Structure 1
Amino acid sequence: MIKFGYTILYVDNVETSIVFYENAFGFSRKFITPEKDYGELSTGETTISFASKKLAAQNLKDGFIESTLEEKPFAIELGFLTDDVAGTVQKATSFGAVLVKEPVQKPWGQIVAYVRDLEGFLIEICTEVQG
């Protein structure tokens, strides 16, 4: 059996990123290393983790593409489900998220919006797909 356990975002400052996600989305801190180079949030079944770019570079000797707000987002997103898309977007942007797309209703009834976090990672804020 395989279970999707976590996604790790490579960030400049692990604690700053964790505080942003705590404040903007209400997730709770699972733990952070004493060196503050790795941490996790409790977000439901799947954990969002953060590793410092320095720590990531130790594991990936050939390097990696860094996420920044100055570049287009990667072809991947984190999806957060909520009943209040507009309110969640407003709260996230009040803590520094960058609005990409205002909430819109899709033909299948789902409400979807997009923001980017402090490091430029793309986040979809949406209602559940009904059906």
Structure 2
Amino acid sequence: MQHILLTETILYVANQQASTDFYENLFRQKADLNVPGMTEFRLSDTCKLGLMPNDGIAKILKDKTPHPQTGQGIPRCELYFYVADVATEYANAITLGAKEISGIENRDWGDKVCYFADLDGHVIAFAERF
């Protein structure tokens, strides 16, 4: 789809500041935007990650969906990042106290991958081709 110029994935979080601190340390970069109600990280020219408080998105969603807080800790998405060195990212995530789901393993789809959960239970994978 050539008409899509940028992708931004927004995670709904219980505590915007705690999640901002976690992702700043995980990505080893400061947020590009950090204002009440939204934090954003530019991860590449065509990809951004946003963090929005559960209560903020609930105001937009109104009563059309369950409040995001009711899904707290339940894996609701997976962020799959291809990186230059999966071992470095694994060590960084462990140091930050990310909840390990699966250590570094060669997977049958051709990637070497490790899996963690962030503070809200969102799954993060770091991968490299092997």
Matched with 2:54 is 53
Rounded to whole Å, the distance in 2 between the matches of 1:108 and 1:101 is: 16
Match of 1:12 in 2: 14
Describe the superposition over 1:44-93 as per-residue Cα deviations: whole angstroms up to 9, x where unpaired.
12110011111111001123444433x4x12x311112122122112112
Secondary structure of 1:102's counterpart equals: strand
Aligned to 1:40: 40
CA-based RMSD: 1.9
Point out the structure with the larger strand share. 2
TM-score (ref. length: structure 2): 0.83
1:68 and 2:40 equivalent? no
Count of paired positions: 124
Structural mapping, 1:81-92, within 5 Å? 81-92=82-93
How far apart are the structure 2 equivalents of 1:4 and 1:104?
31
* Unmatched tracts of structure 2, length 5 or more: none
**Residue in structure 2 matched with residue 78 of structure 1 by the alignment:** 79
Contact 1:96–1:117 under 8 Å retained in 2: no
Question: Paired residue for 1:126?
Answer: 127
Seq. identity, %: 29
Distance 1:10 1:53 in 2: 5
The answer for unaligned runs of 5 or more in structure 1 is none
For residues 84-103 of structure 1, give each alpha carbon's deviation from its aligned partner in whole angstroms, at most 9, with x where no partner exists. 21221121121121000011
Per-residue deviation, 1:38 = 1.1
